[in-house]
Structure 1
């Protein structure tokens, strides 16, 4: 009988302690994004440069020519980590959880840098991602907090880096000739969300 009472008492203490773990909950519903599946297949299209859409040139032979660009390479380059973000905290004994209902900043913005004469929108479409728009991604992580211990979950975004190479071509208007590749390359770097990394302190 004493053993049953002792077990019941421990269970009650655990439930009370668990309820003392505080989490703030976001109001309303949020549609959480899935990590984008990046398209690294060959593009094959020619694009007018975004700052020269109406430009044409005339050679001495009265042949109209202009320049276009082609995405000639898309490749994964590296994986990087952003800074740690603060998650929920609490005192043990308890189980602490970071979930989609926890009010934390779980947004990430895919970015582009470098040179991209074809335009950021064209590169985004070719990779199958969005750029410069903050997306909200779901989180899921739990830890157990021992008795009389205070802990906090922390998390950070993991993003993949992709290099996009573009090459310039000269197009001879009205001749039916294939575009002539020029020795002019430009490189853009694109950071794309991959997943969340979790820890605690």
Structure 2
């Protein structure tokens, strides 16, 4: 039933096309084939179809084969299919696979760079650079690389088709090849750890084992003279010398001892003595020479005292580790009296 209706529609389109190609009205076409205009109208609407004798007559009049009028394929649809280009499916599989594999290959090199950077900034790093692959941010690169490989595999399987067993085998093959591609680079990064790596990170939350954290012993504190400033002259106690009546001269010519003194807060006198170039806390002998004229009827007694230059010395604490020193906020301040000469005067007796 449906096939007969489809056949009528195909014959109707063929008759309409023949009439229009020959620029005939329904009345003119009906007169040529010997039927009424209403019959032609019913044929073109697919309500009825001409009998075999009428079809043979039309084939003779318009030079067309009967079997062509009876074909089930629509002529117009056939022409449309010829002119419409097939859609091209974009191939994302190769792009995604290349991005994913490049991400896997580059990850160990980024891990090596991260290890060197940690050593330069923090003086500590993992023993093996590939341990950084599973930490942020390299773990994100690893996840994205695997994601791109998965998408590339998906589009490859979608394009090829086939049953699920073949698709699964193809997916596993691509995954294994990607991992094998990454392994040589990963092993290379593991065999060449940074030459200065000393401390290995330990995840204290990974288990319930108690770890004893040992302090570093290669660093130490020390003190150094940070500044020294001249505070002026200070004076020691008067010392009495010889006396005499005038007219004449009173003279002192002897040796006497003086000690450079220190006061305040300090670590040791050795560093301070070295910075000033003097001896502190030890008596030293110095020559005392002076002459004083005495007028007639007078008696004078010479007196003398040591003169000191007073220095303010500031020491600062430093911390040294791995050949580098850094200053702390701890300081000590002291004052040193350094002998430089004698001061003279006299008493009138």
Q: TM-score range by the shorter chain?
A: 0.5 to 0.7
Structure 2: how far apart are the matches of 1:71 and 1:163?
11
Deviation at 1:157, TM superposition (A): 0.9
Question: Residue 276 of structure 2 corresponds to which residue in structure 1?
Answer: 127
How has the CA–CA distance of structure 1 residues 93 and 187 changed in structure 2, closer, same or farther, with 3 Å as cutoff?
same
Q: Which string of whole-angstrom CA distances, capped at 9 and with x for unpartnered residues, describes residues 100-150 of structure 1?
A: 3xxxx7211011121222x11221122111111111111221111111211
Question: By how many angstroms is 1:62 displaced?
Answer: 4.3
Give the secondary structure class of the aligned counterpart of 1:99: strand
CA drift of 1:74 comes to 1.6
Cα distance per residue 1:17-37 (max 9 Å; x no partner): xxxxxxxxxxxxxxxxxxxxx
Which of 300, 324, 329 is the equivalent residue of 1:151?
A: 300
The alignment partner of 2:272 has SS state of helix
Which is richer in helix?
A: 2
- Asked if the contact 2:225/2:271 (under 8 Å) is kept, the reply is no
Aligned Cα root-mean-square deviation (Å): 1.9
Task: Provide, for residues 46-73 of structure 1, a one-character-per-residue CA deviation record: whole Å limited to 9, x for no partner.
Answer: xxxxxxxxxxxxxx57432321112111
Stretches of structure 2 that go unaligned for 5 or more consecutive residues are: 1-212
Which residue is 1:63 aligned to?
Answer: 216
Tell me which residue corresponds to 2:336: 190
- 2:263 alignment partner in structure 1: 113
Structure-1 residue corresponding to 2:203: none
Larger Rg: 2
Aligned mates of 1:62, 1:132 — CA distance in 2: 39
Contact 2:318 2:328 survives alignment (8 Å)? yes
Structure 1: state its 5+ residue gaps.
1-59
Aligned to 2:246: 92
Corresponding residue SS for 2:271: helix
Query: 1:165 — aligned with what?
Result: 314
C-alpha displacement of 1:189: 1.2
For 2:243 and 2:329, the matched residues in 1 are separated by 56
Structure 2 length as normaliser, TM-score? 0.37
Match of 2:287, SS?
coil
CA distance in 2, matches of 1:171, 1:180: 6
What is the distance in 2 between the residues matched to 1:188 and 1:116?
6
**Aligned-partner Cα distance in 1 for 2:310–2:337:** 5
d(CA) in 2 for partners of 1:62, 1:194: 49
Q: Distance in 1 between matches of 2:298 and 2:222?
A: 63
Q: Distance in 2 between matches of 1:147 and 1:78?
A: 39
Which structure's relative contact order is higher, taking Cα pairs within 8 Å and 6+ residues apart? Answer: 1
Tell me the equivalent position of 1:9. none
